[in-house]
Amino acid sequence: MKYPKLRELKEAIYSLVTPAYTTKFPKKPHTPAENFRGKPEVDDANCVGCETCANVCPSGAITFTDDKENKTRTIKRNYGLCIFCGQCQDHCITNKGVKLSNKIYDLANFNREELIETQEKELLLCENCGAIITTKEHIIYLYKKLGPKAYSSILNLNILNETLKLATKEETSVEVRDELKRKDMFNIICPNCLRKVLVKTSF
């Protein structure tokens, strides 16, 4: 029989008289250390649904699905795939849409479906070709960010009018026909259709 060394005896005695390094989770809540990267929590009021977080997510935990018929964008965040890298927080254009919390141990679950959170945003579609432009909240955020420079864009002016209600939709809307004309630039159209209008009317 090999006798233990003095160093091993010292460690054994020391561990008997000192508290444990581990916590009593889940019986008692665990408080992680400072700057701990836990579950990304979304602030829907400051999230504009711009797809930036999905583009930078290395694990593909964030996905977007657009429904043209209902004009909605569905955002799904699967925390079962999340690696808590913080890229979504670092690249958020509003800097408030998503923040890493200190929650991670509470995500332990037997049902993977419960780890998926969904979020919906209203889409903005081109009135001519039906192409997806972006979400309405994204456009509103952009003209607030640009300030007076945003008024040079017809698209932003239309969205601004919807917010301020300076004129009714009947007063500002123009019928979109098969053949684009100069007056169509006053409608909400995608950049591709707007380019066609500007190219056609410039000659």
| pLDDT tens-digit map of 67-104 | 999 999 999 999 989 999 999 999 999 999 999 988 87
Phi, psi of 191 (to 5 degrees): -55, -30
The domains found in the chain, sorted by start residue, are 35-123 (3.30.70.3270), 126-203 (no CATH)
In angstroms, how far is the first alpha carbon of the chain from the final one?
A: 99
Q: The pTM is what?
A: 0.70
81 contacts 59 by C-beta, under 8 angstroms: yes
Tracing tokens 């233990």 back to the chain, one arrives at 4
Name the residue type at position 22. Answer: T
Mean pLDDT of the chain: 80
Distance between CA 67 and CA 43 in Å, rounded? 22
Among 12-21, 39-48, 73-82, 174-183, which is the least confidently predicted range? 174-183
